[in-house]
């Protein structure tokens, strides 16, 4: 899933209040991916990072999955194609909601075999 481009329909734009908890204000755009059913039986939820104004719809790349140990739901983290965020940056940006859950941010680690072999070769040349 990580790396895939998706379109998010925003039902809780940046600056809006949570429908059940009005004291919680969304510091990022938040919505769902039409046609993708999540483990809770609803359409897949997604946080949108890297967009500084409220939007109704957004197409971007999935860069992480937020898994909750104490909830059946998981959230996808989507951002513009030309941007990326660290785990810590993601955690900081979604803390407004994830602080109420035991969540873990999953990100794909890409390791190219040729890069690995190059690093291994360089390590063998270093005197010990």
DSSP string computed for the chain: -TT-EEEEEEEE-TTPBPSS-TT-B-SSEEEEEEEEE-TTSSEEEEEE-S--S--SEEEEEEEEEEEETTSS-EEEEEE-TT----HHHHHHHHHHHHTTS-EEEE------HHHHHHHHHHHHHS--
Question: pLDDT for 59-116, tens place per residue?
Answer: 999 999 999 998 888 999 999 999 999 999 999 999 999 999 999 999 976 545 555 5
| Residue range 3-13: mean pLDDT, rounded | 97
Q: Residue 125: its pLDDT value, please? A: 63
- Whole-angstrom CA distances from 38 to 16, 17, 85 are 23, 23, 24
pLDDT digits (tens, 9 = 90+) for 99-113: 999 999 999 765 455
Per cent of the chain over pLDDT 90 is: 77
Band of the pLDDT at 21, cuts 50, 70, 90?
A: very high
Is this structure's pTM higher than 0.85? no
Across the chain, mean pLDDT equals: 89
Distance CA 65, CA 106 (A): 5
Cβ atoms of residues 92 and 49 within 8 Å: no
Question: What does the pLDDT read at residue 123?
Answer: 62
d(CA 75, CA 44): 7
What is the structure's pLDDT at 60? Answer: 97
């Amino acid at each position: 899933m990580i790396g895939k481009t998706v379109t998010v329909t925003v039902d809780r734009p940046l600056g809006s209040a949570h429908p059940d908890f009005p004291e919680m204000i969304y510091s990022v755009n938040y919505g769902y991916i039409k046609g993708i059913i999540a483990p809770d039986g609803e359409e897949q939820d997604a946080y949108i990072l890297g967009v500084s104004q409220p939007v109704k719809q957004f197409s971007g790349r999935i860069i992480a999955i937020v898994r909750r140990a104490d909830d059946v739901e998981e959230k996808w983290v989507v951002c513009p194609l030309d941007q990326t965020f660290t785990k810590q940056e993601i955690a900081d940006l979604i803390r407004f909601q994830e602080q109420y859950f035991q969540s873990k941010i999953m990100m794909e680690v890409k390791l190219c075999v040729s890069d690995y072999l190059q690093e291994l070769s360089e390590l063998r040349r270093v005197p010990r």
